[in-house]
Amino acid sequence: MAPTDHDPLLVLRQSISSSQAFIPSASADASAPEVPLSQATHLQFTGLSLSLPIDSPTRFISSDKPVDLRSIYFAWLNRELAIPEYNASATTLNDALAANGSSGKVQNLGFIERLDLITWLEGASEESEYIKPLAGDASAAAAGAAPSSKTGAAALAAQARSGKGTIDPRLASVYDGERRMGDRNTVLRGIKPTDFSHVRKLAIPFIQKKSQSSSAIGSTQSLSINQKGPSRRPDPIILLSPSASSLLRMSNARSFLEDGKFMPPDAGASTASMLHVQRIIPSIDPNRPMRFILVEGSEQFKPEYWNRIVAVFTTGQTWQFKNYKWSNPNELFKHTMGVFVGWRGELAPDNIRGWGHRVMSTSVDRWRGEDDVASRFRDKEVVEYIWKSIEMNMRSKGWRKDAAPTSI
């Protein structure tokens, strides 16, 4: 099979999941040795005996442009780096590419794009708002809306494998021998066409009643209209305080917000510049958990990211908001809610109290070591209180099951 028949993203993901090596090389020969990325013309997938051009465009879209394989490989290679180190490494590589006379350049991905890409490559997520579906998958979905000219389970198997290569002829013959199951079209139609137009007349009163109820919601719904159409709902963002005095940092935020257990921020070292937690938000999507992106800084924010902010954790130090879209805390907390986490029994800082009801003040019991289990039962109560407030804020801003607000 020619290299053009292989999707670079799927090949890379498959190699990662099966722990097969892939290296940059200066030749299309599958046995070529590894070279620095600045000198590479191809990416060799040794386990697959496959070579793909390093500048091959992929289905990952950033700034309305396909990201090339070099940039995808670079992002995976430097997935553990914090944002400043990642940007510095990209600049160094671009300088080396220019010095070697190459017109190629690493496309610098935003922190949310990087997180989404790495999560998908690792297999932790089956969908990404930045990855276009394969053309075969789109055509298969369209074919499913009409009766297929193929018969039996073989047709379903062929549709399911669209864009993933041809099905084995022997397997196809097995599928053809299976009992054919009807789809919604054959079940409704039977052996001759049936006119269901009378059903529409019966449904009109119910449709009109639903439309009247929907119009009463009015302004709340208008906030959550997704201008880009039926794309996947973006992930909401929570900003943490980068202050060393904050009780909630990247090192302990997941255990606190996901598991309801507070650990001191210095108990586990973390170099991650972003992470995600999952949580069911019943009033928005009761059937599947929402993924929340946690980050301490907004340096790599695109303008539209600010519409996805659902909470800002703060210690009350105003320098935290210096690079925010709204650097004045009184203005910031008109657009989103603030959260302060302090020690139980201690007063919140003057700034927190001065910002009023827009910043909720919570407290946890002091940490007395791993053996002090008895005092940690109240952590879950605090976490549930925080999530309930975040949920109310999201609903008021227009978050829906299939859309995020266009402004907050």
pLDDT in tens, 74-120: 999 888 777 778 888 888 999 998 888 888 888 888 878 888 888 88
**Is 60 exceeded by the pLDDT of residue 68?**
yes
Measuring CA to CA, which residue among 403, 8, 41, 35 is closest to residue 225? 403
Residue ranges and CATH numbers for the domains of the chain are 3-121 (no CATH), 135-194 (no CATH), 237-397 (3.40.50.11990)
Averaged over 22-28, what is the pLDDT?
Answer: 88
Query: Which residues on adjacent β-strands are paired with residue 51?
Result: 44
Mean pLDDT of 172-190: 55
Q: How confident is the model at residue 227 (pLDDT cuts 50, 70, 90)?
A: very low
Whether the pLDDT of residue 2 is over 50: the answer is no
Nearest by Cα to 6 from 69, 63, 66: 69
pLDDT of res. 219: 36
Find all residues with CB under 8 Å of 71, minimum gap 6, and list them: 106, 107, 109
pLDDT at 154: 47
For residue 308, what pLDDT is reported? 93
Q: What is the pLDDT of residue 31?
A: 77
pLDDT for 403: 87
Question: Residue 113's pLDDT is what?
Answer: 84
Phi-psi region of 260 (alpha: psi -120 to 50; beta: other; left: phi over 0): left
With a CB cutoff of 8 Å and minimum separation 6, the contacts of 341 are 246, 247, 248, 313, 362, 363, 364, 382
Res 84: pLDDT: 77
Confidence of residue 136 (pLDDT cuts 50, 70, 90): low
Mean pLDDT of 137-158: 46
pLDDT at 300 over 90: no
- Neighbour order of strands in the sheet with 50-53: 22-25, 42-45, 50-53
Q: Does residue 319 surpass a pLDDT of 90?
A: yes
- The predicted structure's pLDDT at residue 153: 46
Q: What is the pLDDT of residues 239-291, one digit of tens each?
A: 999 888 999 998 899 999 998 989 888 765 556 677 889 999 999 998 888 99
Give the pLDDT score at 114.
Answer: 84
- 10 Å CB burial of residue 276 (0-12, 13-18, 19+) is buried
> Among the ranges 55-59, 136-140, 154-158, 207-211, which has the highest mean pLDDT value?
55-59
Q: Which is higher by pLDDT, 376 or 370?
A: 376
72 pLDDT higher than 70: yes
Estimate to the nearest angstrom the gap between the alpha carbon of 54 and the chain centroid. Answer: 25
Using the predicted structure, report yes or no on whether residue 73 has a pLDDT greater than 70.
yes
87, 108 Cβ separation under 8 angstroms: yes
Strand partners, 313: 339
Q: Residues of the chain with pLDDT > 90: what percent?
A: 28
The two structure tokens encoding residue 357? 């009801």
**CA Rg value for the chain:** 26
